[in-house]
């Protein structure tokens, strides 16, 4: 079994989906630059904005932090905020993932509330895609999923304050990241 190996899982991604917005991706550029300048998050070291909007089904516009990339991503064919951990976080695998989810929710909330796109973008925080971005510790196999699933469940419960969740493995190319889709059906707090 791979459970022991997945104890060290730090390299993870979270995607929060949203309906495709009806405005140009370039609108995110000034928003993210302003966030970097104003240091809007206490616990994230923001320092760059990357632009891949010219590439189809790409990470699009990316807010780069020391801790993670925050991308307005379409790589799986659906629009959403993809949060990819860059460096190891504090705590074990569960805490690291829970922390990344919280960061993702905070960035999504702040984006929704930015005056330049307010009312034009709405993230669905009741469904998350969570990916293991580490083919060594969490390969995209049945065994890999068995080791990954309890971490995802515990992290989501922690991030959503004891939510009721349903979890399903995403059927994808064996070479893609191991992924789970999480539905949050009820939440005590977020």
Partner 1 sequence: MDALLSARAAAAYHEESAMSNTARTWKDALGSRLPAAIAEEIDQYENQMELRKQGKLGEKVFAELRLRRGAYGQRYDNGHRYDGSKTQEIPFPRRGLTKGPDTEFDAPGMQRIKIPFGKMSAEQLEVLADCAEEYSNSILHVTTRQDIQLHFVDIEDTPDMHRRLGAVGITTREACGNSVRNVTGCPLAGVCRSEEFDISPLASAEFRFLLGHPDVQDFGRKFKIAYSGCAGEGCGRAMLHDLGFIAARRVVEGEEQLGFRVVVGGGLGPVPHVAKELYDFMPLKDMLPVSQAIARVYARLGEKKNRAKARIKFLVARLGIEEFRRLVDAELETLEPDPRWQQWLDEGERDAREWSAQAATRGDVRPAPGFDDWAATNVYEQRQSGYVAATVNLPLGDVTSRQARRLADIMRKYSNEALRTTVDQNFLLRWVHRQDLVGLYNDLCEANLVLSGAGTITDVTSCPGTDTCKLGIASSRGLGAELRARLEAKGLQFDETLKHVNVKVSGCNNSCGQHHIADIGFYGSSRNCGSYKVPHFLMILGGALEDNAGNYGLAIGAIPSKRAPESVDRLLDLYSAERQEDEGFRSWVMRVGKKAIKEKLADLMQVPAYEEDKSFYVDWHDSREYSIGDIGVGECAGEVVSLTQFSLASAESKAFDASIMVDNPAASEAQVQEASQLAYEAMVLAAQGLLKVTNPDTKGDPASVFEAFERQFIDTGAFFERYVGNQEWPYFQAAHGAGGESRDRDESRRRVEEAQLFIEASHACYARLLQAQSGFGGSPVVAAGLGV
With b for 16 or more beta-carbon neighbours within 10 A and e for fewer, the 83-96 pattern comes to: bbbeeebeebbbeb
Q: Using CB under 8 A as the criterion, what x/- string covers residues 95-134 for binding partner 1?
A: --------------------------------------xx
Nearer to partner 1, 70 or 123 (CB): 70
Instruction: By CB under 8 A, name the one of 15, 17, 18, 59 that touches partner 1.
Output: 59
Instruction: By CB under 8 A, name the one of 92, 95, 143, 181 that touches partner 1.
Output: 143
Q: In angstroms, how far is the first alpha carbon of the chain from the final one?
A: 33
177 counts as binding partner 1 under rule CB under 8 A: yes
58 counts as binding partner 1 under rule CB under 8 A: yes
169 counts as binding partner 1 under rule CB under 8 A: no
170 counts as binding partner 1 under rule CB under 8 A: no
């Amino acid at each position: 079994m791979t459970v022991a190996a997945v104890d060290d899982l730090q390299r993870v991604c979270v995607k929060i989906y949203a309906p495709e917005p009806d405005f140009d991706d370039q609108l995110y550029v000034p928003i993210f630059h302003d966030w970097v300048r104003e240091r809007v998050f206490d616990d994230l070291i923001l320092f760059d904005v990357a632009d891949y909007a010219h590439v189809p089904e790409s990470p699009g516009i990316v807010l780069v932090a020391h801790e993670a990339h925050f991308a307005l991503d379409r790589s799986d064919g659906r629009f959403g905020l993809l949060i990819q951990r860059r460096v190891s976080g504090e705590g074990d695998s569960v805490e690291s993932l829970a922390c990344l989810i919280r960061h993702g929710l905070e960035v999504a909330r702040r984006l929704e509330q930015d005056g330049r796109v307010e009312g034009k973008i709405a993230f669905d925080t009741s469904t998350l895609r969570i990916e293991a971005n580490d083919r060594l510790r969490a390969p995209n196999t049945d065994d890999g999923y068995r080791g990954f699933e309890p971490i995802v469940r515990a992290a989501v419960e922690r991030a959503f304050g004891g939510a009721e969740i349903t979890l399903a493995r995403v059927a994808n190319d064996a070479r893609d990241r191991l992924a789970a889709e999480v539905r949050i059906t009820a939440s005590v707090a977020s």
